[in-house]
Chains A and B, each alone.
Chain A
């Protein structure tokens, strides 16, 4: 697999044109399985084909049960300078309900060890809305993260995705569905508590201490170009999007034959506009009228007309021709985006 990834990096070397890379992200699946040697091989390939910015952000996703002292010591030797830890919760009952491999104690320990090894730019995932999570527990989870000095939080509401084991259990009635009112309350708790502790709510699910927002993920929402490498990885260059085949063996086989197996879609202006609304509205940077006008006068007028009721209801606020969601609006981001779609 690593060999194929190296091959793909070579094949795709011109996708991003020549700008120096600002961020590198190892994510999806369990990239912490990569050995130090694997990582070195990949970094060498990246260096070979790309310029890399001095202040590059290099993140690696890991679960607490993977992050032993030994593993963290190894990672400290690599260029990785940011860890994204799948903590989910600091409560045993939540972790068990979510069927996680780590314990509450491991969740705390690995953070401290990582910090001891010099990883100060940490982000953790926390999940709310789980049937086992009371509002009180949720407050404590956020508090624990704050006290551990985590610079960046990604907080996700439990979602029952189609075709997952959870959906199966919910349908069968063996697991409870998400209680919308409770999920909304916990989202409100989160917004309040994070703000008090000095985190900036810069995207629906992301909170950061000053200058600690995820540069990599922010690019997704700002419409910047990115290259995804590996099976099922998505790439975007401003007007077209492509995704690699989601099958490891077929991915490897194609690359052995010197080819990349992927699907591609070219976004129509309307689709580009819709994506911009969908992603930009979720962020503190908001939708800029200036940007919208690049799709034409019609889009601009359509936007102004459809955004009006939301301004009135204070779900959206406008400042210097930039439109952002209010706290109330953040709870309904999808609905509002849909209404603003063309």
Chain B
């Protein structure tokens, strides 16, 4: 155990985590240069393209230290996005040390800070690394000061590195061995292993990645997953190199994988503790949470015939993404589809994109909402994941909405604009902390519902890109929530209903009405577009009736040209969705949310 080191890398997107990881793999000859695919650790195309690690991975390297000893280094990768904070926390819990990777030109970002706080909370040894020091724009002095301010280290503790040129790679490996403590734990205690990730393999089922805290895990053992209370057989256990390498047994302090034949991702939960049935541990490792989806939206196939294909695709996605949930939903306007739950907006976007890219499924996504809690006058608690779930106002005592703690790191000149945005989003500033004279960290309490709509984009534009954002869920608080319905000639369009805060209902309604006015084709009659709360109309637009639609000339050759044109229109019309007497093209559902 004394020759094992477990560490993770904390970094902001684009700060060079993947490239640096590749260098470490190369240097330790875990992977040969020839086999090296750039950024070997991100194995989903989408990740590589977006430059973000969506699912974390782990890899084992062997390093010969100058002290003559051989060390086993387990590097645990962490997902780099706000929606995945729980997964990050579990990866951190599996380590004793963390590399704090900071881009020498860009400095510390919000996401890095919140993950850093998590690591400090878990008593991890922090090794600061200033990356991309070879770039002309690198500001080594300034960024070093930032890091010193942030974690209170000495200047000489900071390693200068470049994933691109290989500067500092050996220093990092030495530091991991010298500074990160060896795992503590007992081989004699009953098995306790914490799951920090899992993935789906179409032949082997779900493969769980774990870190053993105490005891030994053996192939063939009957194992118990303590939080889900399910028992399996350890069909295979092993270590993670570039490929999975089966082992007879794994001991306390090490990182590995287990295959149990489980086919459904939901059965294996990140944060759960594995022990043996024969000699179970007295308690599970703390910190387990059953991650609940926070953002919900309806997903409908563009063509109703594709409903079954969509179900297939979602099921496949769920195999390696247990945080995606869905159940069938019916809409008068859109037909059959699914109500889907996501960790956050980025998660929603990723799913939408994967559906399109990997399964060729283009879908209509309805207005997203967060998960609310409603309490009826009879004292019953109801989960509200879709506008139709909201009880009638007469039977409702109160509604609560999720709030988050948000961190924004920016330049001082943008504080005013960001505070205005946060206030408009019903947030309040809880802390303002200067990391350096040029870099300030703002903390807000914000309703999650408010970041679902156009928060990221606006934050980006008011700060000209100089603001980074991170959040974690905080608590449920009372909310003055209303259901806003959109009506076309008096007929509600269920797919366009939204749950919004009362103070936002009117402006939101106005925007939807205005957008629909641009998107709906004129018809023989006037179309009234209304946004209403219950019976009260809060916004309205009118599309005037089509006044004139007639060809002037219709002689010999015109006839077949005109017939073909009208037949084409007729075909398009057949695809439209009917709401009362109004025809709504699918385009309208797809674009109504692109509000700006």
**Chain A interface (Cβ within 8 Å of chain B)?**
156-157, 159, 180-181, 183-184, 187, 203-205, 217, 220-221, 226, 228, 232-234, 236, 241, 243, 265, 271, 274-275, 278-279, 282, 313, 315, 330-335, 337-339, 341
Q: Which residues of A contact B566 (CB under 8 A)?
A: 274, 278, 334, 337-338, 341
When distances are taken between beta carbons in the complex, the residues of chain B under 8 Å from A315 are 524
Question: Could you give 10 example pairs across A and B, Cβ below 8 Å?
Answer: A203-B554, A217-B555, A220-B559, A234-B560, A236-B556, A275-B560, A278-B554, A278-B562, A334-B550, A338-B566
Q: Which of A232, A278, A330, A331 contacts B563 (CB 8 A)?
A: A278
User: How many A-B residue contacts, CB cutoff 8 Å?
Assistant: 90
Total contacting residues, chain B, CB less than 8 A: 23
Q: How far is the CB of A335 from chain B (nearest CB, A)?
A: 4
A236 / chain B contacts, CB cutoff of 8 Å:
556
Interchain CB contact under 8 A, A332 and B555: no
Whether the Cβ atoms of B557 and A234 lie closer than 8 Å is: yes
- A335 (CB) vs chain B CBs: closest residue: B549
Which chain B residues border A241 with CB–CB below 8 Å? 560
Residues from chain A with a CB closer than 8 A to the CB of B551 are 159, 204, 333-334
Mask of B549-583 contacts with A, CB within 8 angstroms, 1/0: 11111111101101100110110010000000000
Q: Is the CB of A220 within 8 A of B554?
A: yes
Q: How far is B552's CA from A157's CA once the two chains are assembled, in angstroms?
A: 6
CB distance from B189 to the nearest CB of A (A): 78
CA distance A332 to B546 in the complex (A): 8
Closest Cβ of chain A to B425, distance in Å, is 40
Residues on A with C-beta less than 8 A from B550 are 157, 204, 330-334
Indicate whether A282 sits within 8 Å of B554 (C-beta atoms), given known contacts A332-B548, A341-B567: yes
B378 at the interface (CB under 8 A from A): no
Bound form: Cα–Cα A278–B560 in Å: 10
The reply to whether B559 and A279 form a contact with Cβ atoms under 8 Å apart is: yes
Taking CB atoms, residues of chain B closer than 8 Å to A313 are: 524-525
Q: How far is the CA of A271 from the CA of B569 in the complex (A)?
A: 14
Residues on B with beta carbons closer than 8 Å to the beta carbon of A337: 566
How far is it, in angstroms, between the C-alpha of A222 and the C-alpha of B112 when the chains are bound? 77
CB distance from A106 to the nearest CB of B (A): 24
How far in angstroms is the closest Cβ of chain B from A46?
18
Determine if B547 and A181 form an interchain contact, defined as CB atoms under 8 angstroms apart. Answer: yes
* Shortest distance between the CB of A42 and any CB in chain B (Å): 18
3 A-B pairs with the lowest CB-CB distances in the bound complex, closest first: A156-B552, A333-B550, A234-B556
CB distance from B40 to the nearest CB of A (A): 51
Contact (Cβ within 8 A) A187 B556 = no
Residues from chain A with a CB closer than 8 A to the CB of B567 are: 271, 274, 341
- B553 A275 Cβ-Cβ under 8 A: no
User: In the complex, how many angstroms separate the beta carbon of B568 from the nearest chain A beta carbon?
Assistant: 9
* Distance, CA A203 to CA B372, complexed state (A): 62
Give every chain A residue within 8 A of B569 (Cβ-Cβ): 338
In the bound complex, how far is the Cα of B564 from the Cα of A241, in angstroms?
13
**In the complex, what distance in Å separates the CA atom of A181 from the CA atom of B544?**
11
Residues of A within 8 A of B524 (CB): 313, 315, 332, 335
Given A180-B547, A335-B549: A220 and B573 within 8 A (CB)?
A: no
Report the separation of the CA atoms of residues A236 and B559 in the bound assembly, to the nearest whole angstrom: 11
Question: Is A275 in contact with B563, judged by CB distance below 8 angstroms?
Answer: yes
Expressed in whole angstroms, the minimum distance between the Cβ of B570 and any Cβ of chain A is 5
Query: Please, which residues of chain A bring their CB within 8 A of the CB of B549?
Result: 331-335
Q: Which residues of A contact B552 (CB under 8 A)?
A: 156-157, 159, 204-205
Q: How far is the CA of A315 from the CA of B546 in the complex (A)?
A: 13
Contact of B573 among A274, A278, A334, A338 (CB under 8 A): A338
| A24: min CB distance to chain B, Å | 14
- A333–chain B nearest beta-carbon distance, Å: 4
Contact check, B548 vs A184: say whether CB atoms are below 8 A apart: yes
Judge whether A331 and B547 touch: CB under 8 Å. yes
* Chain B residues, Cβ within 8 Å of A203: 554
CA distance A331 to B522 in the complex (A): 14
CB distance from B18 to the nearest CB of A (A): 47
Considering the complex, give the chain A residue whose CB is closest to the CB of B557.
Answer: A234
Q: How far is the CA of A156 from the CA of B558 in the complex (A)?
A: 14
0/1 interface trace, chain B 150-168, chain A, CB 8 Å (1 if under) = 0000000000000000000
Residue of B548, B553, B555, B570 near A331 (CB, 8 A) is B548
A243 / chain B contacts, CB cutoff of 8 Å: 557
Q: Assess A278 versus B556: contact at CB under 8 Å? Given A180-B548, A332-B549.
A: no
Instruction: For A183, list chain B residues within 8 Å (CB).
Output: 548
Tell me how far the C-beta of B552 lies from the nearest C-beta in chain A, rounded to whole angstroms.
Answer: 4
Flag B264-307 by CB within 8 Å of A: 1 or 0 each: 00000000000000000000000000000000000000000000
A187 touching B563 in the complex, CB below 8 Å, given contacts A220-B554, A332-B524: no
Q: Is the CB of A265 within 8 A of B560?
A: yes
What CA separation (Å) do A221 and B554 show in the bound complex? 8
In the complex, what distance in Å separates the CA atom of A191 from the CA atom of B410? 68
Chain B residues, Cβ within 8 Å of A159: 551-553
The answer to whether B556 touches A226, judged by C-beta atoms less than 8 angstroms apart, is yes
Q: Nearest chain B CB to A25's CB is how many angstroms away?
A: 9
State A331–B545 Cα separation when bound (angstroms): 12
- Measured CB to CB, the nearest residue on chain A to B568 is A338
Q: Which residues on the A side are within 8 Å of B548 (C-beta)?
A: 157, 180, 183-184, 187, 331-332
Measured in the bound complex, the distance between the Cα atoms of B550 and A159 in whole Å is 10
Which residues in A have their C-beta under 8 angstroms from that of B570? 338-339, 341
Q: What is the CA–CA distance of A204 and B555 in the complex, to the nearest angstrom?
A: 12
Q: How far is A275 from B556 in the complex, measured between Cα atoms in Å?
A: 12
Tell me, rounded to whole Å, the shortest Cβ–Cβ distance linking B535 to chain A.
Answer: 28
Q: Residue-by-residue, is B85-117 near A (CB-CB < 8 Å gives 1, otherwise 0)?
A: 000000000000000000000000000000000
Judge whether A274 and B547 touch: CB under 8 Å. no
Give CA–CA (A333, B549) in the complex, Å.
6
Min Cβ gap B542→A in Å is: 15
Q: What residues on B are CB-neighbors of A234 within 8 Å? A: 556-557, 560
Please give, as numbers and ranges, the residues of chain B lying within 8 Å of A339 by CB-CB distance: 570
- Seed contacts A159-B553, A279-B554; 13 additional CB < 8 Å A-B pairs: A159-B551, A180-B548, A205-B554, A217-B555, A220-B554, A226-B556, A313-B525, A332-B524, A334-B550, A334-B562, A335-B549, A338-B570, A341-B566
User: Could you say which residues of chain A place their CB within 8 Å of the CB of B547?
Assistant: 180-181, 184, 331
Near A by CB (< 8 A), chain B positions 213-255 give: none
Q: Which residue of B has the minimal Cβ distance to A341?
A: B570
Q: Which of B362-376 contact A (CB under 8 A)?
A: none
A232 contacts B559, C-beta separation under 8 Å: no
Q: How far is the CA of A233 from the CA of B557 in the complex (A)?
A: 8
A124 to chain B, nearest CB (A): 15
Please give the distance in Å from A311's CB to the nearest CB on chain B: 13
Q: Which residues of A contact B562 (CB under 8 A)?
A: 278, 334
Considering the complex, give the chain A residue whose CB is closest to the CB of B571: A341
Q: Assuming the A-B contacts A184-B547, A332-B549, A333-B549, are A204 and B563 also in contact, with contact meaning beta carbons closer than 8 angstroms in the complex?
A: no
Whether the Cβ atoms of A271 and B546 lie closer than 8 Å is no
Report B581 CB to chain A, min CB distance, Å.
Answer: 9
* Nearest residue, chain A, Cβ from B572: A338
| CA of A282 to CA of B547, assembled, Å | 17
Q: How far is the CA of A114 from the CA of B202 in the complex (A)?
A: 87
A234 to B558, CA, bound (A): 9
- Cβ-defined partner of A205 (8 Å) among B553, B556, B557, B560: B553
Q: Report the minimal beta-carbon distance from B489 to chain A, rounded to whole angstroms.
A: 14
Partner of A335, one of B546, B555, B559: B546
List chain B residues, Cβ under 8 A from A226. 556
Cα(A337)–Cα(B554), bound, Å: 13
